[in-house]
Amino acid sequence: MRFIILVKATKDSEKGVMPSEKLLAEMGGYHEELAKYSKGQRSFVDGPFAETKELVAGYTIINVKSRDEAIQWTRRFPNPAVDGGEAEIEVRPYYELDDFGDSPEIERFRKLEAERKK
């Protein structure tokens, strides 16, 4: 099962305040540990992202066995607030085409994706 961990924007992140080296190191360690767990699998998404009422400052996609495991990993995520204050982190299911089974419409989406990658 895949889940996405969303880091919500704060006033500081929207002002462009950059995280401290300590926070960057903690996030790096967290993602290195995830990389060991995921055996190095990576994905890349090129923005920009659609406008939202609640801005997203960052995200991490994880592949785990259950929602409980996703919650455990989310609880370990370093506090992304630049000032060490309150931050909101959310975890949601993340679906891919293979999660929907086979159908003519899903095959249509697969073809569109293949064309996009060309």
Between 10 and 71, name the one with better pLDDT. 71
Structure-token match 């060991």, residue found: 36
Strands (E) across the chain are located at 2-8, 56-63, 89-93
Apex CA 18: angle with CA 14 and CA 24, to 5°? 125
Domain of residue 45, residue span:
2-117
Whether the predicted pLDDT of 65 surpasses 80: yes
* CA 110/CA 96 separation, integer angstroms: 10
The CATH number of the domain where 94 resides is what?
A: 3.30.70
Strands (E) across 9-94 are located at 56-63, 89-93
* Token pair listed for 113: 């994706």
60-74 mean pLDDT = 92
Segment 28-46, tens digit of pLDDT: 888 788 777 755 454 544 5
Q: By three-state DSSP, how is residue 63 classified?
A: strand
The number of domains in the chain is 1
